[in-house]
Amino acid sequence: MIGKLLDHRYQVIRILATGGFGETYIAQDTKRPGKPICVVKHLKPASSSPIIFETAKRLFEGEAETLERLGSHDQIPRLLAYFDENQEFFLVQEYIDGHTLSEELIPGQPWTQSQVIYLLQEVLSILEFVHQQGVIHRDIKPDNIIRRASDYKLVLVDFGAVKQLRTSLVTVSASPVTGTVAIGTPGYMPIEQGQGKPRPNSDIYSLGIIAIQALTGVATSELPEDPDTGEIKWQHLAPVDPQLAAVLTKMVRYHFKDRYQSATEVMQVCKEMGSNHTPSTPVELTTSALERQTIAFAPANPYATKPARNNSSRPDPLPLLIGIIVAGSAAVLVANVYPKAKNFAAKLIGEDINSTNSCLAEIAANSNVRSEPNPINSDNIVQTVGDETKLPVTGKQTKGGWMEVKLNSGRLAWVHSQVVTNHEQLISCLRDQGIAIQTVDDGSLITTRTLPQLQSKPSADKILAQAKLKYESGDLPGAIAIVKSIPANAASGIKDTREIIHEWQRDWAKAEAFSHEINTAINQGKWDKVLSYRNHPEKLPNIKYWRDKLSPLFQEANNTNSQSKNHGKK
């Protein structure tokens, strides 16, 4: 598919994901200036029957209309286009430049209660809108929440439209069936969703799990359950305010009737808590958060990915710019009516751009201002503000959330966005002033990374165990990098590191091939073949990441196969 031109317009440049429900690509819109990046979701029907295709097309258009409505929310990707080609369906959505919430949820590094409350409030406001549209997301997890690089807001992605379509296409030639095939991710999916009967508060459950994961620093797979009730036992894992503990516990109750019934209901409680948990001290990123790399940072759009939604009310700048050429005095008019032209106008009338375009970051008291975006090196602190301080920003920021500021001495320095109390207003100011927001990699700005001195170096066994955890979680490159860090003279007690790496690469390749076989069988509607794989567990990949990934596919095959057999008996 790489290089293929879809709809004579969207050129595929990278395959982002492949699964039993379809494929997702990163593509360029070749008919727009600058060829901006977009996301294309591809659905392949299991049957080529004309009757099934026409029914599927109606379902597809209905799902597209739903995505169109959802995209009116600023923190949900917009639907840019949808079409069918060669009896296959395609959805084109806005590309969100940023990093997933998974990058911020680091095991062993819990968030503050204030951060968790803020997370809840922001995502709940999105879910409130989603549920009001009669939609259940059904796959709320850290990988589906992106922190947008341009303004640091959280964006909810992957509404599973392709998955829902894939599920519907299985039965379009048969009578309607009750319930839906389970869609979701183990660890974040409540019991009723696993049974194919999701409700709006199934999404609330998933968000509650994420919040508990953030607050405790414990992975979902390690959260214990009460064997008698199925309730999650987590409060012993972290000190927590009783009110917040009660809210999270109610969000993740085993039975949906015992949970909050709406996002609005939870938002109201969080709003009351928020007034008692206003952040007052800086929260800085950890070394692993800065050093960790992620594929979520796809190539940035050369043009803005989310233009203003109501451009019709904004005056066309072209006549004004013509007026500037005719009479220099018109430059003032341009600056007032069309903010993006302020820099151009200032140059024409001879004003100092730096003096007129001043956007000030309000920095919380007791926060550190650093010479580089590296919180580990204590030698790079150039200033610790006493009371709240205002410093002008340059527009440069890092993917890790650091913002460049200008000190009174004229020296440039860095503060983290989490200690900037007027962040949203600041972003708006930069845009109004026409100051470009430039996002760069943290690593390119860090000259030294002074790591904490450990009392004793970890043994080869401990390093290998750490690598094994990464391997089981799905991060093969990260696991290999850790194994390679084992000193040669410390590895004598374990298997040769090259042999370990080779073994992991070989098993991973087998797992990928196995997953591809299952996806192919699902795409072809060969449910019995899929179930035959499940019934021979000794053939399944012995890697947790792949077992978790295959489990929902087996569940889908089992449910669909049962429905087909029941229909055949009627």
Q: Which two tokens stand for residue 55?
A: 């029914």
Percent of all residues in the chain with a pLDDT value above 70, rounded to a whole number = 74
Long-range contact pairs involving 525-528 (C-beta distance under 8 Å, separation at least 24): 525/46, 525/47, 525/170, 527/557, 527/560, 527/561, 527/564, 528/561
For residue 249, what are the contacts with CB-CB under 8 A and spacing of at least 6?
235
How much of the chain, in percent, has pLDDT values that exceed 90? Answer: 26
184: number of Cβ within 10 Å: 24
- Which residue in 249, 398, 300 sits closest to 95, CA to CA? 300
For the stretch 52-58, contacts whose Cβ atoms lie closer than 8 Å and that sit 24 or more positions apart, written own/partner, are 52/169, 52/172, 52/173, 53/87, 55/172, 55/173, 56/89, 56/165, 56/168, 56/169, 56/172, 57/84, 57/89
Mean pLDDT on 451-462? 55
Maximum separation of any 2 CA atoms in the chain, in Å = 84
Q: Are the CB atoms for 45 and 88 separated by under 8 Å?
A: yes
Model-level pTM greater than 0.95?
Answer: no
Kindly name the residue from 139, 158, 203, 442 that is annotated as catalytic. 139
Mean pLDDT for all residues in the chain: 75
Tens of pLDDT along 37-91?
A: 999 998 877 666 777 778 778 878 888 888 889 999 999 999 999 998 888 889 9
Q: Is the Cα torsion angle 234, 240, 241, 247 positive or negative in sign?
A: negative
Q: What type of residue is 458?
A: P
Confidence of residue 242 (pLDDT cuts 50, 70, 90): very high
Amino acid identity at 500: I
Phi-psi region for residue 87, left (φ > 0), alpha (ψ -120 to 50) or beta? left
Instruction: Please indicate whether residue 475 is annotated as part of the active site.
Output: no
* pLDDT 10s digits, 118-133: 999 999 999 999 999 9
Separation between Cα atoms, residue 291 and residue 398, nearest integer Å? 12
d(CA 127, CA 139): 12
Q: Are 130 and 160 in contact (CB under 8 A)?
A: no
User: Which tokens belong to 17?
Assistant: 């994901």
Which pLDDT value is given to residue 332?
A: 32
Mean pLDDT of the 511-521 span: 82
| 338: nearest Cα among 425, 431, 424 | 431
Q: Is the dihedral of CA 187, 512, 63, 306 positive or negative?
A: positive
The two tokens of residue 458 are: 């970890």
Q: Range with the lowest mean pLDDT among 28-32, 45-49, 350-354, 438-442?
A: 350-354
CA distance 539 to 521: 16
Please, what is the end-to-end C-alpha distance for the chain in angstroms? 42
The domains found in the chain, sorted by start residue, are 1-95 (3.30.200.20), 98-174+181-278 (1.10.510.10), 317-445 (2.30.30.40), 460-569 (no CATH)
What percent of the residues of the chain are helix, what percent strand, and what percent coil, each to the nearest 5? 45, 15, 40
Whose tokens are 């077992």? That residue is: 547
CB 56: neighbour CB atoms within 10 A? 25
Please give the torsion angle defined by the CA atoms of residues 135, 138, 140 and 141, in that order, rounded to the nearest 10 degrees.
Answer: -160
